[in-house]
Amino acid sequence: MQGRLLPKYNGHYQAHPVGYWQEEFSIAAQLGLDCIEFILDYDHYEENPLMFDSGIQKIRSISEQTGVQVLSVCADYFMEAPIHSDNEQIAVRSTEVLVGLLNAAVKLNIKNIVIPCVDQSSIKDERLRDRFKEVLRSIVPVAEKYEVNLSLETDLNPYQFERLLTNLDSPMVTVNYDIGNSAALGYNPLEELDAYGDRITDIHIKDRLFGGESVVLGEGDSKFELFFEKLKYFNYQGPFIIQAYRDDDGLDIFKRQLHWLNDVLKEVKYS
């Protein structure tokens, strides 16, 4: 996840590091990582290189130089300004931003735009979920044209999420699965994978305590071994994005957790 290899940007736990985002690519390459999931924040979103042509060219150039691709975007913008907002002005503007992201994605060969529907943008309320479906259906044709996944991250239970995917009925509407968030909500990863394992196109690696915050990988309630053992059956081809606990500096604790994750993957013989 963008920013995890760098010091915090303005004290934020997770944010696009305006002005020094380029530095992360060479560090990622040195660690043997092949991709970075970009972040689009609500604040100063117009300064994000995804939002203008010269910025897109700069991302492409740095990716070619380092071999580190941008395969996905975590659009945190929509947590602050949901596309299903009751404020019509916000909803319209957010829809425009999402279409702009799709235009950027096709230029950079980005495969997934992650749309967070959690916390203040949650769609647990059925009325908001209906509103979300209505708005997303208007954008799906663009995603299908560009062959870019709209990868949904939600706090819905497995049954509700499966119903949502069925109702939206598009191969480009997929699942972002967050291991830590699932643990915090008390969901069973086997039930989740049974419900929509074949629709997952982006995975966030995180550990959380049940009902609690992020902790260092291996110290929370996430069932990593169980999850990866089950995931083998779905021929998952997408990225593993480390969105794990971080401190102010970022890099050393990332390295420690990367080593832990690699050990787990070896233990379950995941390849």
Domain assignment present for 120: yes
The stretches in the chain having pLDDT less than 70 are 3, 10-11, 13
* pLDDT number for residue 3: 67
Domains of the chain: total: 1
144-165 confidence digits (pLDDT tens): 999 999 999 999 999 999 999 9
CATH at residue 154? 3.20.20.150
Domain assignment present for 139: yes
Domain assignment present for 5: no
* pLDDT number for residue 2: 78
Domain assignment present for 6: no
* pLDDT number for residue 224: 97
Structural domain of 235: 23-267
Calculate the CA 192 to chain-centre distance: 17
Domain assignment present for 8: no
Domain assignment present for 147: yes
What are the DSSP calls for 164-233, one per residue? Answer: HHHHH--TTEEEEEEHHHHHHHT--HHHHHHHHGGGEEEEEE-EE-TTS-EESTTSSS--HHHHHHHHGG
* pLDDT number for residue 7: 78
Domain assignment present for 3: no
Decide: 179 and 220 in contact? Cβ < 8 Å: no
39 strand-pairing partners: 74
* pLDDT number for residue 9: 75
Domain assignment present for 13: no
**Nearest CA-CA partner of 111 in 134, 137, 143:** 143
